[in-house]
Copies of this chain bind each other. A is one copy, B any other.
Amino acid sequence: MKYSSEAVEKAIHELAKLPGIGRKSAQRHVFFLLKSSADEVTELAQALLDLKSRVKYCSVCFNITEQDPCDICSNPRRDTGTICVVEEANDIIALENTGEYKGLYHVLGGVLSPLDGVGPDDLRIRELLKRLSENVKEVILATNPNTEGEATAIYLSKLIKPMNIKLSRIARGIPVGADLEYADELTLVRALAGRMEF
């Protein structure tokens, strides 16, 4: 399915690079944009350009931010003695939405994945260890509960344990509202192992 217009082909090609967008969806988007006003398309294009020019990474925790250090790191009411280690900046948003956590974060920028060629030096582990040497009392490992996330948590725990810092891993168990019947065995094992007294 080739379009005679080069501009249309190019726009489809570029949009199809986005995650989860194939050629068919990209075509739909292009036809939608062709029907939109020039102003609307300019606004979208400008928003994408601004994204790249204005957003940078916090030099302390590597969260995405417009000013450095980020809102969380520069907030005097946050507990600077606790650091929650996450894989990506969007994990911070999910945790912040709970309103429960008052400490700081550290974004690894990925997980250990030897098959994809991601080793410890590709993650912000050195930066994390440097932060831990400065008056940190507790570290919460909040990488995703999948193979790579678990392996990364284990790797980090081996580095952090000798530092005499309280170290924990987020609980794995049955999600609230879910059915025991449909939970997989590994999650059930974790739920049992992590049981809490009433």
Contact = CB atoms under 8 A, between A and B. Distances in A.
Given A31-B89, A33-B51, A25 B20 contact: yes
A31 B6 CA distance: 28
Contacts of A129: none
A21 B49 CA distance: 19
A192 interface: no
A18 B29 contact: yes
Interface residues of A, number: 56
A64 B34 contact: yes
A104 to B, nearest CB: 14
A7 B54 contact: yes
A33 B90 CA distance: 13
Interface in A27-43: 27-34, 38, 40-43
Contacts of A48: 11, 14, 33, 41, 44-45, 48
B66 A38 contact: no
A3 interface: yes
A49 B42 CA distance: 6
B54 A5 contact: yes
A159 interface: no
Going nearest first, the 3 A-B pairs with the smallest beta carbon separation are A45-B45, A7-B54, A14-B47
Interface of A: 1-8, 10-11, 13-15, 17-21, 25, 27-34, 38, 40-55, 64-66, 70-72, 88-90, 93-94, 97
11 contacts: A3-B93, A4-B72, A6-B66, A7-B47, A10-B50, A13-B47, A17-B44, A27-B90, A33-B51, A33-B52, A38-B52
